[in-house]
Amino acid sequence: MNAQWSEELDEADAGRVRELLLAARAADGRPEDVEPPSGGLHLLVREGGELVGHTHLDTAGDSFGRQVAELVVHPGHRRRGHGTAMAQALLARDGELRVWAHGDHPGAAKIASKLGMQRARELLVLSAEVEGQDWPEPKLADGVSLRTFEPGRDEQAVIAVNARAFDWHPEQGAFSVDELVATERESWFDAAGFFVAERDGEVIGFHWTKVHPPNPTRFDGEPVGEVYVVGVDPGAQGGGLGKALTLAGLRYLRERGLRRVILYVEGDNAPAVAVYTKLGFQRYEVDVQYSR
């Protein structure tokens, strides 16, 4: 086995990583994105000249400065020690990092146990079938209005609310204006499904929806909508704005003809889980972060 760290992937290796990720998605349903991640460091593991494992280490870290890694072993080369070897290589670089196990893969749990790592975070994937759901028209407090996002106008205001609403969140809290503008160029971006709440001309909340293309190994191979981000300014919380924004997005996704909507929520956020459960969502799967 040959393992090598690299700061950048050349075109050939990027293609090999893409093929590996496609093979993993065919077996596991994950990862959602099969394009090789940019930035950070890559660990490529080869056996007999064939790429059998890939690790990406986000050296910039999350909102709290913790480096975060994801590792994938080709389905045809599992249970041969490659995953353990990559995890050991990661811990040798930074013993405080976090490592994702998407879908709570049992193989990842075995490796974590072997290396003395514990579940540090659970990110729940909740799912609701659209048919039969009673998602009423949102009710807004007096003085609050709802409209759709306007590119070129709303970025700074939305990010300001996002920063205040998610100052506790490992990823979302560090989302920037530049990243939002870059996302607006993605093929899936839809301003008509991005709702903004205002009071006295000031943005106080938003709900950004997303539509995922069909994945043959997940959600019956159909496109699904997502409650992507719901953010409410702390000064506007407690008046039902979060629920109203959520309903606006859910009704929009239903109008698009989607049969299923998903969302991600922290496993320890009991109030949010309770709200989504009342809206018809149930646990579908879980992503786990392991750490020492």
Same domain? For 149 and 32 the reply is no
Nearest to 170 by CA among 52, 268, 253: 268
Burial class (CB in 10 A: 0-12, 13-18, 19+), 37: middle
Q: Are 210 and 188 in contact (CB under 8 A)?
A: yes
Is residue 207 assigned to a domain? yes
The answer to whether 72 is annotated as binding is yes
Please indicate, yes or no, if residue 231 is contained in any of the structural domains: yes
Contact 286, 127 (CB under 8 A): no
Per-residue confidence (pLDDT) for residue 245, from 0 to 100? 97
- 199 shares a domain with 143: yes
**Are 149 and 55 part of one and the same domain?**
no
Of the candidates 60, 87, 116, which is a domain's last residue?
A: 116
> Known binder of ligand: residue 171?
yes
In a domain, 210, yes or no: yes
238 annotated as belonging to a binding site for a ligand: yes
71 annotated among ligand-binding-site residues:
yes
For residue 52, say whether it is annotated as part of any ligand binding site.
no
Query: In terms of domains, do 29 and 81 share one?
Result: yes
> 199 and 278 share a domain?
yes
Residue 255 lies in a domain: yes
Q: What is the pLDDT of residue 209?
A: 98
Do 146 and 267 belong to one domain?
A: yes
264 labelled ligand-binding = yes
Residue 178 · residue 159 · CB < 8 Å: no
**Residue 28 burial by Cβ neighbours in a 10 Å radius (0-12, 13-18, 19+):** middle
- Are 177 and 205 in the same domain? yes
Rg (CA), the chain: 20
Residue 159 and residue 77 in one domain: no
What is the structure's pLDDT at 33?
A: 87
17 is in an annotated binding site: no
pLDDT of res. 32? 84
- Start-to-end CA distance of the chain, whole Å, equals 26
252 is in an annotated binding site: no
Q: Are residues 131 and 229 in the same domain?
A: yes
Whole-model pTM: value is 0.90
- Whether 121 is in a domain gets the answer no
Residue 29 pLDDT = 87
Peptide bond into 271 cis (omega under 30): no
Partners of 56 in the beta sheet?
42, 70
Q: Which of 96, 116, 136 is the last residue of a domain?
A: 116
Does 231 carry a binding-site annotation?
A: yes
pLDDT tens track for 174-186: 899 999 999 999 9
The string over 168-193, giving b where at least 16 C-beta atoms fall within 10 Å of a residue's C-beta and e elsewhere, is ebbebbbbeeeebeeeeeeeebbeeb
CATH of the domain at 272: 3.40.630.30
pLDDT > 90: percent of the chain: 88
Does the annotation flag 237 for ligand binding?
Answer: yes
Asked if residue 242 belongs to a known ligand binding site, the reply is yes
Establish whether 130 is an annotated binding residue.
Answer: no
Q: What is the pLDDT of residue 173?
A: 87
| 212 annotated binding-site participant | no
Q: How many CB atoms lie within 10 A of CB 106?
A: 9
95 and 134 co-located in one domain: no
Task: Confirm whether 253 is domain-assigned.
Answer: yes
73 is in an annotated binding site: yes
Give the structural domain span for 42: 2-116
Are 99 and 150 part of one and the same domain? Answer: no
pLDDT digits (tens, 9 = 90+) for 186-239: 999 999 999 999 999 999 999 999 999 998 888 888 999 999 999 999 999 888
110 marked as binding residue: no
pLDDT the model gives residue 1 = 76
Q: Is 290 annotated as belonging to a binding site?
A: no
How many domains in the chain?
A: 2
The answer to whether 68 is annotated as binding is no
Residues of the chain with pLDDT under 50: none
**Any known ligand binding at 79?**
yes
At residue 11, φ and ψ (nearest 5 deg) are -60, -40
Q: Is residue 292 part of a domain?
A: no
Q: State yes or no: 241 annotated in a binding site.
A: yes
Whether 89 and 192 map to the same domain: the answer is: no
Output the 3-class SS for the chain: CEEEEECCCCHHHHHHHHHHHHHHHHHHCCCCCCCCCCCCEEEEEEECCEEEEEEEEECCCCCCCCCEEEEEECHHHCCCCHHHHHHHHHHHHCCCCEEEECCCCHHHHHHHHHCCCEEEEEEEEEEEECCCCCCCCCCCCCCEEEEECCCCCCHHHHHHHHHHHCCCCCCHHHCCHHHHHHHCCCCCCCHHHEEEEEECCEEEEEEEEEEECCECCEHHHCCEEEEEEEEECHHHCCCCHHHHHHHHHHHHHHHCCCCEEEEEEECCCHHHHHHHHHCCCEEEEEEEEEEC
pLDDT score, position 238: 85
At which of 73, 92, 116 does a domain end?
116
Task: For residue 225, report the phi and psi dihedrals to the nearest 5 degrees.
Answer: -90, 160
